Chains A and B, each alone.
Chain A
Amino acid sequence: MTSKLVERLFEHEGLAPLLALRKEGGVPAGAEAADLLSRAALLALGAAADVARRQECGDEVRIYVPAPPPPGPGLLVLGASPPAGGTAFLRELATLRLTGPIGARIVVDFGAVGLEIAQVALSFGATDWAGPIARRGGLPLIDADDQRKLVKRREIAGFVERAGFRPLFVSTDAPPPVRSHVES
């Protein structure tokens, strides 16, 4: 539930009509919307993206292992070369959430941006993660040092839960994807 404090922030930044439009199934577009979003304060933009994400996608975070699934309707993937700055990445992500298709899943590559930024991204409009994780028995194709750097399934689940979301692991190794909830 959005607090009055945040509602006032949306009013102040001009984001309230845009959120109302999305709630009715419309997608903000055009120069006016682009201008509004480009000028909005980053945290207001993030809070608006979070409202839209929770309304449209709930609090489930799908974690695609080891890579995002093949293209499908409403699946947007932030690629492997994020901009140098964390703020630019978050702004781009929140803008994408607010101007993208209703209910779109937005996947962030935690291997590329790092778990910390990927976690913050969940509150700026991202719904899903993809990336490599450590497995029992290790991965034979990488050396021991690289293997140690891989995070474990439980650690990833912890990052998601500590951001206030529900993790759901989705294996993309072999079709059809096998889904399983992680125990926490």
Chain B
Amino acid sequence: MSNLESIASKIARGERLSFDDGVALFREPDWIAVGGLAHAERTKRHQDHAYFNRNMRLEVTNVCVASCLFCSFAKLKEGDPGAHTMQLEEAWRELELRMDDPPSEIHIVNGLHPDLPFSYYEDLLRGFKRVKADIVLKCFTAVEIHFFAELYRMSYEEVLTKLRGAGLDSLPGGGAEIFHPDVRTRIAHDKATAEQYLEVHDVAHRLGMKTNSTMLYGHIETFEHRVDHLLRLREQQDKSGGFQAFIPLAFHPDGNGMRNLPGPTGVDDLRTIAVSRLLLDNVDHIKAYWVSSTPKVAQIALRFGADDVDGTIVHETIYHAAGSQSPQGLTREMLIRLIREAGFMPVERDTYYRVIEELPRAAVPEGALKVRDRKANKHLEVIS
């Protein structure tokens, strides 16, 4: 029996996949079959639903004391070319400008700014709630929370409790990169360790918060490192249970310390989504983040184990600093179309995956539509 067949049998029996199974899935030449297994798992959990939300990305400061090799976004100090830190009013204004079609969530990720007072972040959160009381604030990665704890001399629990008091609802998953020390010490040596990242999430979960998790792949790591990363997340989830979604993030090489590397390919993106779905049996949602992989690959990823395409985003800057060619935002209508075209039912959700609206599926199934329209389909130009 081949590796793939024995893994398929384990999945069918409801057995948990091992480290070796994970590596075998990454090495399996028949990557479409791996996708098929993941799609079956995704369908068991979510049927043909594909989730998205109306969110807004904001990076209030790109000043950062860390020197991560993969980052094209950070500036070391205020005054450096391209460095910026928003005035609070400027940040709140970003939401005010969108109140005619308001997002349900603000997602904030920042640099590790050494000089801002803690009250800046508390005031930032309070101000957003003043503009829109029911906005969900998913802000500050575990790396930022760890940095706050060190800078302001507080425990993780104290930091999180104070920020929750100011309106923080959830944590994004960024900052995980690759947990294995062989990689982490080379690409992100001066920020939170894997253990610290996981501990922040552990504390957040104990406080009743829901959070996300990520993995930055496609640079110097091996398949073994990826599997190690996924299994550490799975173990943490067994303990604290608060991860809602896992988001594989494709490395982009432009303008950073690893610009000599090629970055992951479309096949790698889809395979990583699929293996994540199969290994993370205790995480409900696998997200295809369209900014990192392009909208078209994210759409295909819905057939490789992903059940969520993230949201409208509005204005992403971190990936675009690293050369992402994706648009900086998609409209709600574009996301709905993307999901429908792939043959799924679009479901608008909030941060906690509570359904806001279930939208109708495409009137004609994806395949039938394409064959029926084939004669009129001008994109297919048969030269001879």
**Is B266 a contact of A3 with CB atoms below 8 Å?**
no
Give bound CA distance, A117 to B299, whole Å.
11
**Is B368 a contact of A158 with CB atoms below 8 Å?**
no
The listed residue (B4, B5, B371, B384) touching A38 by CB distance below 8 A is: B371
**Is A43 a contact of B266 with CB atoms below 8 Å?**
no
Question: Residues of B contacting A162 with CB < 8 Å?
Answer: 265, 267-268
Residue of B nearest to A122 (CB): B267
Chain A stretch 10-53: residues in CB contact (< 8 A) with chain B: 34-35, 37-47, 50
Stretch of A69-77, A134-142, A168-176 with 4 or more beta carbons under 8 angstroms from chain B? A69-77
A83 at the interface (CB under 8 A from B): yes
**Is B371 a contact of A73 with CB atoms below 8 Å?**
no
Question: Residues of B contacting A113 with CB < 8 Å?
Answer: 296
B36 at the interface (CB under 8 A from A): yes
The listed residue (A37, A50, A117, A163) touching B371 by CB distance below 8 A is: A37
Question: Residues of B contacting A75 with CB < 8 Å?
Answer: 383-384
**Is A43 a contact of B265 with CB atoms below 8 Å?**
no
**Is B382 a contact of A76 with CB atoms below 8 Å?**
yes
Question: Residues of B contacting A73 with CB < 8 Å?
Answer: 384
B269 at the interface (CB under 8 A from A): yes
Question: Residues of A contacting B209 with CB < 8 Å?
Answer: none
**Is A88 a contact of B300 with CB atoms below 8 Å?**
no
B363 at the interface (CB under 8 A from A): no
How many chain B residues touch the partner (CB < 8 A)? 52
**Is A37 a contact of B367 with CB atoms below 8 Å?**
yes
Give bound CA distance, A44 to B33, whole Å.
8
A158 CB, nearest partner CB in chain B, Å = 6
**Is A123 a contact of B299 with CB atoms below 8 Å?**
no
Q: Given A34-B371, A38-B367, A95-B370, are A78 and B2 also a contact pair (CB < 8 Å)?
A: no
B254 CB, nearest partner CB in chain A, Å = 9
A84 at the interface (CB under 8 A from B): yes
The listed residue (B5, B368, B379) touching A81 by CB distance below 8 A is: B379
Q: Given A83-B379, A117-B266, are A88 and B5 also a contact pair (CB < 8 Å)?
A: no
Give bound CA distance, A113 to B37, whole Å.
27
Q: Given A3-B33, A5-B8, A42-B303, are A68 and B266 also a contact pair (CB < 8 Å)?
A: no
Question: Residues of A contacting B381 with CB < 8 Å?
Answer: 77-79
Chain B stretch 295-334: residues in CB contact (< 8 A) with chain A: 295-297, 299-300, 302-304, 325
Contact with A along B273-297 (1 / 0, CB 8 A): 0000000000000000000011111
B226 CB, nearest partner CB in chain A, Å = 15
Tier of interface size on chain A: 35 or more
Chain B stretch 361-382: residues in CB contact (< 8 A) with chain A: 365-368, 370-372, 374, 377-382
A74 CB, nearest partner CB in chain B, Å = 8
Residue of A nearest to B364 (CB): A38
Best-buried of A37, A76, A85, A164 by chain B (most CB within 10 Å): A85
Chain A stretch 107-143: residues in CB contact (< 8 A) with chain B: 113-120, 123
**Is A116 a contact of B294 with CB atoms below 8 Å?**
yes
Stretch of B53-61, B92-100, B161-169, B337-345 with 4 or more beta carbons under 8 angstroms from chain A? B337-345
Stretch of B24-32, B197-205, B351-359 with 4 or more beta carbons under 8 angstroms from chain A? B24-32
**Is B367 a contact of A43 with CB atoms below 8 Å?**
no
Q: Given A85-B342, A90-B300, are A40 and B267 also a contact pair (CB < 8 Å)?
A: no
Best-buried of B29, B293, B299 by chain A (most CB within 10 Å): B299
A90 CB, nearest partner CB in chain B, Å = 7
**Is A117 a contact of B296 with CB atoms below 8 Å?**
yes
A89 CB, nearest partner CB in chain B, Å = 8
Q: Given A71-B384, A81-B378, are A92 and B370 also a contact pair (CB < 8 Å)?
A: yes
Give bound CA distance, A142 to B342, whole Å.
36
Question: Residues of B contacting A164 with CB < 8 Å?
Answer: 29
Give bound CA distance, A68 to B382, whole Å.
12
Best-buried of B5, B296, B341, B374 by chain A (most CB within 10 Å): B296
**Is B299 a contact of A43 with CB atoms below 8 Å?**
no
A62 at the interface (CB under 8 A from B): no
Q: Given A47-B33, A91-B366, are A120 and B267 also a contact pair (CB < 8 Å)?
A: yes
Question: Residues of A contacting B372 with CB < 8 Å?
Answer: 38
B138 at the interface (CB under 8 A from A): no
A6 at the interface (CB under 8 A from B): yes
Question: Residues of A contacting B299 with CB < 8 Å?
Answer: 85-87
A9 at the interface (CB under 8 A from B): yes
CB pairs A–B below 8 angstroms (23 shown) = A3-B2, A3-B4, A5-B37, A43-B304, A45-B367, A46-B32, A47-B30, A76-B384, A79-B378, A81-B378, A83-B341, A85-B337, A85-B342, A86-B299, A87-B300, A87-B343, A90-B300, A91-B367, A113-B296, A115-B266, A159-B265, A162-B267, A163-B265
